[in-house]
Structure 1
Amino acid sequence: MTAAIEMVDVLDEPKAIEGRRPFSLAVRRLRKDKVAMVSLVVIVLIVLMAVLAPVFAAVTGHPPNEQYRDIGLTPDGLPRGPNGTFWLGTDDLGRDILVRIAYGARISLLVGVLATAITVVIGVVLGLAAGFLGGITDTVLARLIDVVLSVPFLLVAIALVSVTGPSLTVTVLVIGCFSWASVARIVRGQVLSLREREFVEAARSLGAGDRRIMFVDVLPNVIAPVIVYTTLLIPVVIVTQATLSFLGLGLPPPTPDWGGMISESQNYYTTAWWFILFPGLALLVTTLAFNLFGDGVRDAFDPRADRT
């Protein structure tokens, strides 16, 4: 009888509510977003294509910069269409488009990740300093952010690359050092709403310095919008790099590059549709996948926001 009573008491006890961290909840919501998951699969496939670019070259037997003028061009000197030897056709110099697209993915992803990392680091540090320290620091940094946002970025990037010469390092630095202002403004706005909260006052009362409070107490509370903006910034950087290459200010030839390939195909779009279609499709699919995944990340961190 006693054992039965104890069992009834245990069954009557309310179940403990298991708490979940906001990040864990966001990941759980993201996993239920079918569009975001499909976009993530596409991004993974693009990354694999970039990593396995030498495998594509080995399987086809076509190095990315090798010119096959005998078998890669028609008797009239025009690119050859997709066939058993060149699966996606050739370009105006008889090079394999498939292999060059795979190697071009390396350039686009590398520039996208590195330039975005530089942008986020600069923007987060300056935004934290402006929002938390306030006073003259906030005034100076806020006006600096306004100045950078008012500068026509693409024109300045073209001017700088024209002076210094096209290279991977210059492209990454130019994009990274002129794109941080938007991140800084977002972080500054978030920090301004957090610096007077109770947990900040508690940290101050315990003797914590400004640097520790900014990076240990405040930064984790603004990391969510930074993650969302980062996922949406990568495709913007990829398109910017492709634009510079299209204008002849990206990586120097014969480096495989999607923007450069699209630029080279301008005179052949009526006679060699594959020459412009496949590099343009690679750029479109990549940017679209990152944008859709970024939308999913945004909705996961803020489930009240409606997808547009």
Structure 2
Amino acid sequence: MNAQAAAAALDIGTGGRGLEPIQGKGTWALAWRRLRRDRVAMISLLVIVLILLLALAAPLVAAVTGHPPNQQYRDIGLSPEGLPTAPSRTFWLGTDDLGRDILVRIAYGARVSLLVGVVATGLTVVIGVLVGLAAGYVGGWLDTVLARIVDVVLSVPFLLVAIALVSVTGPSMTVTVLLIGFFSWASVARIVRGQVLSIREREYVEAARSLGAGPVRIMFVDVLPNVLAPVIVYTTLLVPVVIVTQATLSFLGLGLPPPTADWGGMISSAQNYYTTAWWFVVFPGAALLVTTLAFNLFGDGVRDAFDPRLEQTLRR
């Protein structure tokens, strides 16, 4: 049977419609479909969006309540004994030790936490990806030098450096972001380096070399897109770590200087009032807990979406 006869027979067998091309779905489309079916991840994403909206609407919250974030209401915001007042119609979530509105300060604290979380994570990922790409693809002496630098960074005590640096420069958001970024990029670099080592000898990389593509083009055009999936998974799991780290630095007095509203500083100020003003501790702590939990659960969903075999293994 020649090609024309075979085509005619196939056309008759399909009712004259011919064969429709099969549209395959790529990794990203499949991952998004799996993620949409994960109810926990979608609920967590909704919570993250609500927290983002709260942060963006912080000035609106202050306008509605009529309470600026750093305004002290010692006459109506403190009891006759000088203690914070409980939640009421005037102060919906109560006041802190200086008579400031906790609801407004939580909203402004969400801005700080999300801003530091996004900026520090972005800085971490950019540095880690660049170092991991260079070490994994170039190899040789460069890989050895960068690997030793990664080992050194991972072995430096974080808190000691933070205390020393803040004592010299003073607390600020810039110092906080740089500290977190400096101590976090090494883990990203290790992940990217391992992925690059596993794919740098693949057929499409060799084909790019044979066509005369340079190392930089191959790294960013042919290699980087194929290591983005684990980087994205790690990034979603890194954001809550950064938020908790920033809150910890503020709790220890190494973060943002007062009167800046941030959750770690609020919890630090409330540690002496947990028996007399529970709302002063509970509400900032709950905001930090809900935010980090939402990011962690969403990160777990992203990880399972990109690697469904891992999810099946964990369920066994």
Shift in Å, 1:10 = 2.9
Q: List alignment gaps of at least 5 residues for structure 1.
A: none
Alignment of 1:62 with 2:67, yes or no, is yes
Alignment of 1:171 with 2:181, yes or no, is no
Amino-acid identity (%): 78
Residues 11 and 17 of structure 2 are in contact (CA less than 8 Å); yes or no, is this contact kept in structure 1?
A: no
Match of 2:127 in 1: 122
- Quick one: structure 1 residues 19 and 288, their matched pair in 2 at CA, closer, same or farther if it must change by over 3 Å? same
Shift in Å, 1:15 = 4.9
CA RMSD between the two structures: 1.5
Residues 157 and 175 of structure 1 are in contact (CA less than 8 Å); yes or no, is this contact kept in structure 2?
A: no
Match of 1:131 in 2: 136
Whichever residue aligns with residue 90 of structure 2, its letter is T
State the alpha-carbon separation in 1 of the partners of residues 84 and 137 from structure 2. Answer: 59
Where in structure 2 are the equivalents of 1:133-148 lying within 5 Å? 133-148=138-153
TM-score, length-scaled by structure 1: 0.96
Q: List alignment gaps of at least 5 residues for structure 2.
A: 1-9
Residues 242 and 260 of structure 1 are in contact (CA less than 8 Å); yes or no, is this contact kept in structure 2?
A: yes
Whichever residue aligns with residue 81 of structure 1, its letter is A
Runs of 4+ in 1 over 6 A off after TM superposition: none
Paired residue for 1:186, among 171, 191, 200?
A: 191
Alignment of 1:290 with 2:308, yes or no, is no
Whichever residue aligns with residue 87 of structure 1, its letter is W
- Quick one: structure 1 residues 137 and 77, their matched pair in 2 at CA, closer, same or farther if it must change by over 3 Å? same
Residues 124 and 185 of structure 2 are in contact (CA less than 8 Å); yes or no, is this contact kept in structure 1?
A: yes
Residues 36 and 296 of structure 1 are in contact (CA less than 8 Å); yes or no, is this contact kept in structure 2?
A: yes
- Quick one: structure 1 residues 11 and 93, their matched pair in 2 at CA, closer, same or farther if it must change by over 3 Å? farther
SS at match of 2:233: helix
Match of 1:201 in 2: 206
State the alpha-carbon separation in 2 of the partners of residues 92 and 191 from structure 1. Answer: 53
Where in structure 2 are the equivalents of 1:71-90 lying within 5 Å? 71-90=76-95
Shift in Å, 1:16 = 3.4
String of CA shifts for 1:60-98, please: whole Å, max 9, x gaps: 000000000010000010000000100000000000000
State the alpha-carbon separation in 2 of the partners of residues 113 and 9 from structure 1. Answer: 54
State the alpha-carbon separation in 1 of the partners of residues 14 and 270 from structure 2. Answer: 77
State the alpha-carbon separation in 2 of the partners of residues 95 and 198 from structure 1. Answer: 63
Alignment of 1:96 with 2:105, yes or no, is no
State the alpha-carbon separation in 1 of the partners of residues 13 and 193 from structure 2. Answer: 55
State the alpha-carbon separation in 2 of the partners of residues 14 and 302 from structure 1. Answer: 32
String of CA shifts for 1:117-172, please: whole Å, max 9, x gaps: 00000000000000000000000001111111112223322321222110011111
TM-score, length-scaled by structure 2: 0.93
Match of 2:3 in 1: none
Paired residue for 2:240, among 213, 231, 235?
A: 235
Match of 1:113 in 2: 118
SS at match of 1:179: helix
Residues 74 and 99 of structure 2 are in contact (CA less than 8 Å); yes or no, is this contact kept in structure 1?
A: yes
Whichever residue aligns with residue 59 of structure 2, its letter is P
State the alpha-carbon separation in 1 of the partners of residues 192 and 121 from structure 2. Answer: 15
- Quick one: structure 1 residues 70 and 16, their matched pair in 2 at CA, closer, same or farther if it must change by over 3 Å? same
Shift in Å, 1:18 = 1.5
String of CA shifts for 1:2-50, please: whole Å, max 9, x gaps: xxx9776337855532211111111111011000000000000000000
Shift in Å, 1:305 = 1.0
State the alpha-carbon separation in 2 of the partners of residues 9 and 103 from structure 1. Answer: 64
State the alpha-carbon separation in 1 of the partners of residues 284 and 203 from structure 2. Answer: 53
Match of 2:4 in 1: none
Match of 1:16 in 2: 21
